[in-house]
A and B are shown apart, each in its own frame.
Chain A
Amino acid sequence: AQKITQTQPGMFVQEKEAVTLDCTYDTSDPSYGLFWYKQPSSGEMIFLIYQGSYDQQNATEGRYSLNFQKARKSANLVISASQLGDSAMYFCAMREGLSNSGYALNFGKGTSLLVTP
Chain B
Amino acid sequence: DGGITQSPKYLFRKEGQNVTLSCEQNLNHDAMYWYRQDPGQGLRLIYYSQIVNDFQKGDIAEGYSVSREKKESFPLTVTSAQKNPTAFYLCASSPQVSGANVLTFGAGSRLTVL
Contacts and interface: CB of A to CB of B under 8 A. Distances in A.
Interface of A: 4, 9, 31, 33, 35, 37, 42-45, 47, 50, 52, 91, 93, 95, 97, 101-110
Interface of B: 31, 33, 35, 40-45, 48, 50, 56, 58-59, 88, 90, 92, 94, 96-108, 110
Q: Name the prevailing secondary structure of the A interface residues.
A: loop
Contacts of B98: 31, 97, 103
A50 B103 CA distance: 11
B103 A105 contact: yes
Contacts of B110: 43
15 contacts: A43-B88, A44-B105, A44-B107, A45-B43, A47-B104, A52-B99, A91-B42, A93-B43, A102-B50, A104-B33, A104-B48, A105-B43, A105-B103, A107-B43, A110-B42
A33 B50 contact: no
Contact of B31 (A31, A45, A102): A102
Given A44-B105, A103-B94, A106-B45, 14 more contacts: A31-B98, A35-B102, A42-B107, A43-B88, A43-B90, A43-B110, A44-B108, A45-B103, A101-B45, A104-B33, A104-B48, A104-B58, A107-B44, A110-B42
A103 B105 contact: no
Given A43-B88, A101-B45, A33 B40 contact: no
Given A101-B56, A102-B31, A104-B33, A45 B105 contact: yes
* CB-CB nearest 9 A-B residue pairs: A45-B105, A109-B42, A107-B43, A43-B108, A50-B100, A107-B42, A103-B101, A44-B107, A102-B50
